[in-house]
Structure 1
Amino acid sequence: MSAPFRFPRFFVTTPSPCPYLPGKTERKVFTELSGPHATELNDALGRIGFRRSQNVAYRPSCADCSACVSVRVVATEFKPNASQRKLIRRNADLSVTACKPWTTEEQFDLLRRYLSARHPGGGMAEMDDLDFADMVEQTPVNTYVIEYRDPAGKLVGACLSDYQADGLSMIYSFFDADLADRPSLGTYIILDHITRAAKSGLPFVYLGYWVKGSARMQYKTRFQPMERLGSGGWTRFDAEPEPAMMLDSLLG
């Protein structure tokens, strides 16, 4: 008698420089997502802190550091604050479409402009159209590209998102960072995901990892209530937010 599915095999990467904390190294444990049970495996691994990249699920496994903490917004209890409500009203004219995970030239052009404006010299700076297609289209799970368009039909934002059993997992978002009349588009994309998850009865929006002391990660604490994953499971997390001006400059 054969088992209904094969237990996944896990591997560990070699150490490399940490992208979040200077002087630290990072190491990841990962497994392949494939076969008829890839969705169930991805859901289960997501609940214990794994993230998806193409057909791989991974999580940090650093020998001397545990700074990366998985965080998720409790979407069904979220209530936007005054500035977030204002941002939602300001972008109410955007049309939002959940598209199948197929790339377009328009998406890639927006990504290139976003990386040039926000992450020049970063790890994705040299990404070409084939790399982008791999990032979006190589998915064994229920994945969408959520597009945000202005009234003229121009694409101003997008997010690669997984639909999981208990929530939405935001894999990667990018947007037009040069629109003076639409500041904080990155924040709005997160707010929109929280609203959509709650309306769908999904309790959580997964935001990946939070790293204390990493300025580029602090924006995640602005979406409360939030939970973080620790040795005892998921618990409520109310970190001290960084100044809004600094966060807006990072998240846009």
Structure 2
Amino acid sequence: MALQGNPNEELRLFQTGEHPCGYWPDRQARDLVLDPQDARLGALYPTALGWGFRRSGDLVYRPHCAHCHACVPVRIPAERFLADRSQRRCLARNADLECRVVPAERTEEQFALYQRYLGQRHANGGMDNHGPHEFDQFLIGSWPHSRFLEVRAARIDDQRGRLLAVAVTDVTEQGLSAVYTFFDPDEQARSLGTYAILQQIAWAQREALPHLYLGYWIRGHRKMDYKRRYQPLEAYDGRRWVDFGALPDSP
């Protein structure tokens, strides 16, 4: 399968075989994948975001299931975002935290937090045995323009505070893409996942980047429903980006 991104350059797409769905255990899934061997993949990635694709490691993919269309690409128009009351409370609750953007390079501290997060939040989820190599392969890859947004407790006596969360974020001219976030599972009351997204929106606003891409909202999936709480929200309907509320059967 091929797409024309440039009149003189063909972009090759592959369809994977069926594999177990990561969200619905009773379903099989398939993906469209941009040619992993294409040397232009890093340059094509921003355009692919606009087509509803997402990155996992060096793989750029989009769900393409024959009998299920629950996965819907969504993004936040950064300048138009308005925090609701719950999100404002989250920001106030975490006003003591410090955020900084750092290079996407694994540290022992980050890796230890990643292992704790997987062990407590995603036990038996297939990633339990991730080591340093898998961390680099899954989160960093070889070509993406990524950064880590670190969230830390406040400094004490000029000493850097304890690491509480890391939001892996791709930076493109299309906007930021929220790739993956892991956080201290013992700090549940802080709602660090929500806080990380709010900080990524603020980052996009500071850099005058138009969007924060959130990956896929999954119709009917309780754990993925949180994404529709960020408003306004745009969804990709397979041809163009539309207001989330304009989707057929959207909540």
What interval of TM-score do these two structures reach, taking the shorter chain for normalisation?
Answer: 0.7 to 0.9
- 1:147 corresponds to 2:150: yes
Q: Contact conserved, 2:93 with 2:190, CA < 8 A, in 1?
A: no
User: How large is the RMSD of aligned CA atoms in angstroms?
Assistant: 2.0
What's the TM-score, normalizing by structure 2? 0.87
TM-score by length of 1: 0.87
Return the alpha-carbon distance in structure 2 between the equivalents of residues 61 and 231 of structure 1: 11
Are 1:33 and 1:140, in contact at CA under 8 Å, matched by a contact in 2? no
Amino acid across the alignment from 1:70: P
Q: Is 1:177 the counterpart of 2:185 in the alignment?
A: yes
Moved over 6 A (4+): none
Structure 2 residue corresponding to 1:105, chosen from 100, 104, 108: 108
Identity between Structure 1 and Structure 2 (%): 38
Q: How does 1:110-189 map to 2 (within 5 A)?
A: 110-152=113-155, 153-179=161-187, 182-189=189-196
2:233 alignment counterpart: 226
Residue 223 of structure 2 is aligned with which of 216, 227, 252?
Answer: 216
Q: Partner of 1:208: helix, strand, or coil?
A: strand
The unaligned stretches of length 5 or more in structure 1 are 241-252
| Contact preservation (8 Å) 1:102, 1:136 | no
Write the letter of the residue equivalent to 1:84: Q
Give the Cα separation in 1 of the matches to 2:8 and 2:177.
24
Q: What's the offset of the Cα at 1:185?
A: 0.6
Is 1:16 paired with 2:19?
yes
- Residue matched to 2:66: 63
Residues 9-35 of structure 1: CA distance to partner in whole angstroms, max 9, x if unpaired?
Answer: 222221011122242110111122753
Pick closer, same or farther for the CA change 1:175–1:96 going to 2, 3 Å. Answer: same
| Among candidates 21, 24, 44, match of residue 47 of structure 2 | 44
Task: Give the paired residue count.
Answer: 236
Kindly provide the amino acid, as one letter, of the partner of residue 213 in structure 1. G
Matching residue's letter, 1:157: A
After superposition, the C-alpha distances for 1:189-247 in whole angstroms (9 at most, x for unaligned) are 0011111112221121101011111111111111010011103411111454xxxxxxx
In the alignment, residue 212 of structure 2 is paired with which amino acid? Answer: V
Kindly tell me: are residues 179 and 201 of structure 1, through their superposed partners in 2, closer, same or farther at Cα, counting changes over 3 Å?
Answer: same
Quick one: distance in 1 between partners of 2:94 and 2:86?
A: 13
